[in-house]
A and B are shown apart, each in its own frame.
Chain A
């Protein structure tokens, strides 16, 4: 059987999701052995971004227009296209800058702004249709393997579509929000991490991004009742996934 042709594309991010693919996750040899890496500049000098690809994996947030142009081209030449990691699926950390006026955030870093070509940070599905989401920061090991094997076997990838709370219950954790009065983002955050933070004595900070249809305003109001200051509530909802309509109400409710 011919191996599926894989393309790996990096936009604005830490490249941690690519390091997850080739170094951190426990099935490196199996994954790279099952596909032909046709393009991926961090992995190989061979190949071109022209494709065609059976599967394109996209990491990073779109923050310059050339990235959107290339992304649309990749969509055209790819059977499946999947954003991997929070930057690509929900905007992630790079999207925090969307909270601030673009000129202001640029001027805090650079003196000459004429060579800065930055635009509003957006996740991949803002520009192209996607076939699945592989969430996480870094992208979850199980997500990557499920999405790649699912798509390549012709079935719908089956990844968690519920809140971190469910994983906490499955692990038998005491609720850090109820018992320790910690502003835990677990109730609105997509599961997949195994409830890592609440299992280690801290509140979830939403690094996997919003779950589908969360009740962000209800959690924001709960944080207020718990004594969290308004600016802190806005920060909780804007660390990951600020451009998403899911978290936006949580940011706007008490934003000064």
Chain B
């Protein structure tokens, strides 16, 4: 008979958005031992996007997330371009990839340093890190300066809710000299990125090995791109336009986050670890070295190692941006858009994993239907299943230890509950 447990984390700290964790051993009648009770209020983007025009959708959905705004913006823009039959230029695609890749690095940085690291320094939070762990904070600030400035330079004006990224392309392209300067600053933070991997590799985490399907985009050539096949470690391979044939979602009574499943197959995990498990063959040499030095053996089935995968992805993102910026001298292009009726979908890799947007628009380009599924929607069931496995694994441990391990597990997924109740 397992020890009786009743653990309530009322408002989980250091994650994006609002959730509670409830542990009950034995499981209540008709229930489960663990529930992720996401109490963040619903936000109804899919409801109020109906009636809005194509040229404001990017700016609106950017506000789904305060740390991956570019991902929402560009996924929506690509879905709308697919709906209206617009083909962006090669130059636009390259600039967009720089914009999303720099944002992936930024998102991983704030997550690893501000939200995760305090657990491993036995501190309550990020402000508490400031006096005693200045070297970590200084490294974070150096790296964030380089990546955020690049997102702003390409995306337009600011890294958070940039203003130049529109259907068809960009309102203004950055001058070659500024892009070259940004590239130099990325080269300067290479040692910082490698040091981050070493730091995260020292984090002590439970051995929670568990089979599950990892899902990520498989691009045609690169490690990551804004377009690819929706693929899994169990052989799933569908085009973004066929996403809904493979992945469904349902409402649960205790959260306004819908819970996605692979149709007929169950839970999936998306995010940095999933990308690395699927696309390890595409990693750059420095990222492969960093992963090897950190002891990340792929494929890896421990969800706690998502953080290590994120650290390696910071190295990868810096290398990718350095490569994409090389010799880049964009010519002025004005996005020309002719609205047309149609339906279109797009899937991209947000920092936290697979992100899907789909729209139907009328001949004026006004939205008639919107469908959005975020990384945390995809991870919801997997997080709950992992929490159950973790509680079982730590059965004999003190309640305080189980509680902290549960909190750290949810944080390791880098959830965004604000996005999840879009």
Contacts and interface: CB of A to CB of B under 8 A. Distances in A.
Chain A complexes with chain B: yes
B114 A24 contact: no
A179 interface: no
Contacts of B120: none
Contact of B130 (A10, A33, A207): A33
Contact of A16 (B67, B157, B251, B366): B67
Contacts of B115: 42
Given A108-B50, A200-B157, A205-B59, A12 B65 contact: no
A119 to B, nearest CB: 10
A23 interface: yes
Given A63-B41, A196-B158, A46 B125 contact: yes
14 contacts: A11-B41, A14-B63, A14-B65, A23-B106, A41-B13, A44-B124, A45-B13, A46-B124, A106-B42, A109-B47, A115-B256, A197-B163, A199-B157, A200-B163
A43 interface: yes
A46 B128 contact: yes
B13 A44 contact: yes
Interface string A76-117: 000000000000000011101101100011101111100111
B117 interface: no
B42 A110 contact: yes
B74 interface: no
A111 B248 CA distance: 14
Given A28-B141, A94-B43, A201-B172, A16 B161 contact: yes
Query: Interface residue tally of chain B, by bracket?
Result: 35 or more
A209 B73 CA distance: 20
Interface stretch (B15-23, B75-83, B263-271): B15-23
Interface of A: 10-20, 22-24, 26, 28-29, 32-33, 36-37, 40-46, 63-64, 67, 92-94, 96-97, 99-100, 104-106, 108-112, 115-118, 137-138, 193, 196-197, 199-202, 205, 207, 231-232, 235, 239
The interface residues of chain A, by DSSP majority, are classed as mixed
Contacts of B106: 23
The interface residues of chain B, by DSSP majority, are classed as loop
B130 A23 contact: no
A43 B14 contact: yes
Contacts of B69: 14, 16
Nearest to A44: B125
Given A43-B114, A116-B256, A202-B163, 13 more contacts: A16-B67, A16-B160, A18-B66, A29-B130, A32-B130, A37-B127, A42-B16, A44-B126, A63-B41, A94-B43, A99-B51, A207-B59, A239-B60
A110 B65 CA distance: 20
Contact of A99 (B48, B124, B157): B48
B399 interface: no
Contact of B41 (A41, A109, A117): A117
B159 interface: yes
B41 A118 contact: yes
B52 interface: yes
B82 to A, nearest CB: 22
B47 A97 contact: yes
B148 interface: yes
Contact of B251 (A14, A40, A44, A112): A112
A138 B56 contact: no
Nearest to A62: B41
Contacts of A44: 13-14, 118, 124-128
